[in-house]
Amino acid sequence: MEKRDEELIDQLIPENEELRKLFSEHKEFESQLDELKKRLYLSDEENREKKQIQKLKLAGRDRIEQILKDYRAKR
């Protein structure tokens, strides 16, 4: 995410529960993916898990971007 987006997220998190939840999940997914990337070899199950986490992370990021876009349109 861009620094500008992160600053806006920090500003909106206290008042937007959905954004707070999505951003928390995004960071957790990032952490999980980082752990998987550290491994030299991934089992088939771990590869499926990695792909699922990537999909969930992307969907969450898309929603975060929509929330930020909506907020900027209102200002």
Q: What is the model's pLDDT at position 44?
A: 98
> Is the separation of the CB atoms in 47 and 67 below 8 Å?
no
Q: What is the model's pLDDT at position 22?
A: 97
How many structural domains comprise the chain?
A: 1
Evaluate if residue 69 carries a pLDDT over 90.
yes
Q: In angstroms, what CA-CA distances link 24 with 18, 38, 63?
A: 10, 22, 13
Query: What mean pLDDT value characterizes the chain?
Result: 95
What number is the average pLDDT over the span 33-57? Answer: 97
Please write the tens of the pLDDT for every residue from 10-36: 999 999 999 999 999 999 999 999 999
- Residue 68, domain extent: 3-74
Share of the chain above pLDDT 70, in %: 100
Which 8-state DSSP code applies to residue 75? -
Task: Report the predicted TM-score, pTM, of the whole model to 2 decimal places.
Answer: 0.88
